[in-house]
Structure 1
Amino acid sequence: MQAKRRYLLVFVVAFLTFWYFGGYHLRHNNELVFEIEKLSEYVSVNGIETGYLIGRRERFSLDEKKHCSMETCFDFSRCEKDFKVYVYPQEDSSVPSPSYLKLLNVLLESRYYTADPKEACIFVLSTDTLDRDRLSNDYVRNMQSKLQRLPHWNNGLNHVIFNLYSGTWPNYTESDLDFDYGKAILAKASMSDSHVRAGFDISIPLFLKIHPAKGGEPGSASANNFPLEKTYLLAFKGKRYVHGIGSDTRNSLYHLHNRKDIIMVTTCRHGKSWKDMKDERCDEDNKEYDKYDYETLLQNSNILSSSTRFLEALQAGCIPVLLSNSWSLPFSQVIDWNKAAVWADERLLLQVPHVIRSLTPSKILQLRHCKTQVLWDRYFSSIEKIVYTTLEIIHERLPKQPIWDGTVWNQFPGALVTLSTFQTLTKIFHFV
């Protein structure tokens, strides 16, 4: 009996020794990994990031085959005399979509246009490239062969391709435009950071077919005719995908919906086979979704969680809340979205209400009136302004061109008004 007790005591001591010395290293190493991967339990409003700084997210594409920079994939010598844009003549059998036709007409009527390809710095296709969804009526087939027939294609050198397509549900294969764009600059909507070739491609806003070619409606908040306190603090109304990319975040939005000042409603009632794939919450979500009108939410919310309706949120004077960790915001090369949007980490979704409630009324007023409206009016309210902004970002990249600082781009009246093509500040004022 005494021997058994001694053996038991030795075993216990040995186990405790191993646990303390050997297990410590095991626990310590596991804690290091956990510390790296875990998210903080609380985010202070002082530490939360609203938007991001200009250029912070610009980095080289992970796809080395399509890595380009202005130095390696652009011929600066074509732009030494002037910054002109050549638009290829339309093929007789090719009829562009209404949106692309607006874009082409904007270029043809612009100060940038030249009918002589020898004078051109930039080339734009007449063939519609906006929608690359194979199921769309606007999808243009045999794009590769069409490109090869262009007399100045040269593997896309000095070409700009405008595109609004980011794949189709459920996979959204972003990089697949169904043709090789080579060295062409992509002016593309809904680009992710990993697909933007830094300092080369340009992220543009996703605009609808009804977006005006020129002019555009002024921002709803620009006339100071709105109450600061609105019915809803935060609102979202949109589709919910039962599975596929983007489903996780939207499937969790119902946790934030309180039917009072935060309205988060989704529907899985879309697509031909939604009934076959619906989950146990679809019927309830659809019923709640039908209770709210989108336009009413838009006009009666301080802040709007949106991505595809990003421009509508800006026009309405709503502060965009972006639940995405990888989206390259439109014109982020020059626009400081830190002053006009709230970028919420989608992994910290349940903290969003606290962050939003922590914004002071003066901060909300500043973001809504002073920032969203200026950006909408100057760069987004028409296709013309979207195209001009795209071209001027490229123009700034050329050698010996002045680079407008963030103040010029992000304050009234905006960079498009103070371009050297019109009048510079030094030309306006004559010093005696």
Structure 2
Amino acid sequence: MFMLTKRTKHHHQPLHHKLLILLSTFTLASILYLSFSFSGSKHVHPSLHPDPLSVTVTAESPRAQSSSLRSQPHSPFANLTSPAPTSASSSADALSPPKKERDFGPYHDWLAFAANFQEMMRSFKIYVYPDAYYSSSSSSSSPFANIFLPHVDPFNPKLGNYFSEHMFKISLLRSSLVTSDPQQAQFFFMPFSINNMRNDPRVRHEGTIADFVAEYAARIGREFGFWNASGGADHFYAHCHSVGRDAASKHRDLLNHAVQVTCSSSYFQRSYVAHKDVALPQVWPRRDEQVLTPPSERHRLVFFSGRIQNSRIRQELIDTYENDTSMDVFSRSPFPYEEGLKGSRYCLHVKGYEVNTARVCDAIHYGCVPVILSNYYDLPFSNILDWSKFSVIINHREISSLKERLLAIPAEIYLSMYHNLSQVRKHFMWHTTPRGFDSFYMTAYQLWVRRGVHRLLY
């Protein structure tokens, strides 16, 4: 009944023959791929390229560099006057920031800062309480008028470390930021001088100064409505004397709310609050801008001279390096202080009684790259300036490795720091009538970025 159809016969190859063919095909493809990759690719395994940074830094040990420095009659920087162009594999490129950052030089972001600075100059206003204008012969003056008035001779060398305290007030009173209309003001200046109080036998003691400042804050709260509208948060005072750190201790709102513009800017101290308070550069009285000694004429590696009393850090520094002929480190320099600053590549700022001294600005003034051994120092203008581009910051527990670390800095990096240092000098200068980006306007900028306090109605 059914018709049978002849089926075509298929011959199946054994399984192991198929596997052999597949394996041979895969192997041939792999060989061709690898051959093409190694012959055509320009990249090899990263381990075949030595790290240019490690080669540059370790090619000559710090000890060998030190011996080389001492044996040469001239500075190793004699033929280098500015940062030289380098190849992509050089140590300068390895240590330098990316191109976008490098364009800003010693600044975090110059373009943003310059734009904000222009806005500050246009809109920022400060009201100065009238005590700063009352002379001793004025009918409105108090017996303590000298504590509030501007200093008559701010460039007197005897002012020393307290120069910035007086120059801030003088510059402010002569600036375009002052307004006689308190309704326009974003900040209010309390013009008392801690330095003048210390020199006044009636109030010179720390407790008496705190009493005086507390009473003054209470008085302007009674006589003016501006303090009460903000609880003092839009008020500020300036000082460089360490006593000023506790001047507000007897007035709670002044201590907790008002801004202190101070040279004693240590965020280790409970009386200084970073981001509320402002670091003021501590500058020595100098009228003229110093012509910088070029790197080729700076034959000393390191210079420091300073008293060791009340400073364990300085004592350790002297004990470690006083017999090292390549390190000019003294408790009292055998040659003029200015000579050490002019003739050295690196100048040390080492914590004394306070984290701050004028030595950072001394070094900047003379073009000597600052080496900062002072923990907890809230450096001036640090939201604008990238201090790592023109200074060396070392933990004061690392004094024993100080020399080794400085010798390991390539010449290109030192020259870059020197160049950046020459750019930032203008920010650490005071003028009786402020101008440009000098210390006054840079400090005023720190206040301007803290504006925006909410107030009650006057």
Q: So what's the TM-score if we normalise by structure 2?
A: 0.56
Q: Give the distance between the partners of 1:206 and 1:136, measured in 2 at CA.
A: 25
Among 300, 303, 314, the residue aligned to 1:235: 303
Q: Give the distance between the partners of 2:422 and 2:197, measured in 1 at CA.
A: 31
Say yes or no: does 1:186 pair with 2:260.
yes
Cα deviation, 1:165-221, whole Å, max 9, x if unaligned, reads 225xxxxx955555532311111113112344232211111123x245xxxx33533
Among 345, 354, 374, the residue aligned to 2:395: 345
Any residues of structure 2 matched to 1:7-406 within 5 Å, and which? 82-90=123-131, 91=134, 92=141, 93=143, 94-95=145-146, 96=149, 97=151, 98=154, 99=163, 100=165, 102-129=167-194, 133=198, 139=204, 141=209, 142-150=212-220, 151=224, 152-154=226-228, 155-167=231-243, 174-175=245-246, 179-180=250-251, 181-182=254-255, 183-195=257-269, 196-208=272-284, 210-212=285-287, 217-221=288-292, 226-241=294-309, 244=310, 246-258=311-323, 260-266=325-331, 289=332, 291-306=334-349, 308=357, 309-368=359-418, 370-377=419-426, 379-382=427-430, 384=434, 385-398=438-451
C-alpha distance 227-131 of structure 1, shift in aligned 2 (>3 A)? same
Is this contact kept in 1: 2:300–2:345, CA < 8 A? yes
Which amino acid is 1:380 matched to? F
Unaligned runs of 5+ in 2: 1-60, 63-90, 96-105, 109-119, 135-140, 155-162, 350-355, 453-458
The count of aligned residue pairs is: 291
C-alpha distance 131-232 of structure 1, shift in aligned 2 (>3 A)? farther
Cα deviation, 1:90-134, whole Å, max 9, x if unaligned, reads 242312444555433322221211011122111112222456758
Q: Give the distance between the partners of 1:235 and 1:156, measured in 2 at CA.
A: 44
Which amino acid is 2:308 matched to? R
C-alpha distance 202-101 of structure 1, shift in aligned 2 (>3 A)? closer
Unaligned runs of 5+ in 1: 1-41, 55-78, 168-172, 267-288, 400-432
- Indicate the residue corresponding to 2:70 in structure 1: none
C-alpha distance 131-366 of structure 1, shift in aligned 2 (>3 A)? farther
Is this contact kept in 1: 2:214–2:248, CA < 8 A? no
Displacement of 1:393 in angstroms is 2.4
Displacement of 1:259 in angstroms is 5.3
Is this contact kept in 2: 1:339–1:371, CA < 8 A? yes
- Indicate the residue corresponding to 2:85 in structure 1: none
SS in 2 for 1:299: helix
SS in 2 for 1:236: strand
C-alpha distance 392-153 of structure 1, shift in aligned 2 (>3 A)? same
Q: Which protein shows a greater Rg? A: 2
Is this contact kept in 2: 1:129–1:161, CA < 8 A? no
SS in 2 for 1:153: helix
Is this contact kept in 1: 2:213–2:248, CA < 8 A? no
Displacement of 1:360 in angstroms is 1.8
Displacement of 1:317 in angstroms is 0.5
C-alpha distance 320-134 of structure 1, shift in aligned 2 (>3 A)? same
C-alpha distance 297-179 of structure 1, shift in aligned 2 (>3 A)? farther
Which amino acid is 2:237 matched to? I
SS in 1 for 2:404: helix
Q: Give the distance between the partners of 2:176 and 2:407, measured in 1 at CA.
A: 46
Q: Give the distance between the partners of 2:333 and 2:194, measured in 1 at CA.
A: 35
Q: Give the distance between the partners of 2:203 and 2:313, measured in 1 at CA.
A: 30
Q: Give the distance between the partners of 1:104 and 1:352, measured in 2 at CA.
A: 39
Is this contact kept in 1: 2:295–2:415, CA < 8 A? no
- Indicate the residue corresponding to 1:26 in structure 2: none
Q: Give the distance between the partners of 1:158 and 1:256, measured in 2 at CA.
A: 47
Is this contact kept in 2: 1:131–1:138, CA < 8 A? no
Is this contact kept in 1: 2:234–2:451, CA < 8 A? no
Which amino acid is 1:207 matched to? V
What is the alpha-carbon root mean square deviation over aligned residues?
Answer: 3.6
SS in 2 for 1:228: helix
Q: Give the distance between the partners of 2:385 and 2:182, measured in 1 at CA.
A: 31
SS in 2 for 1:126: coil
Q: Whose helix fraction is larger, Structure 1's or Structure 2's?
A: 2
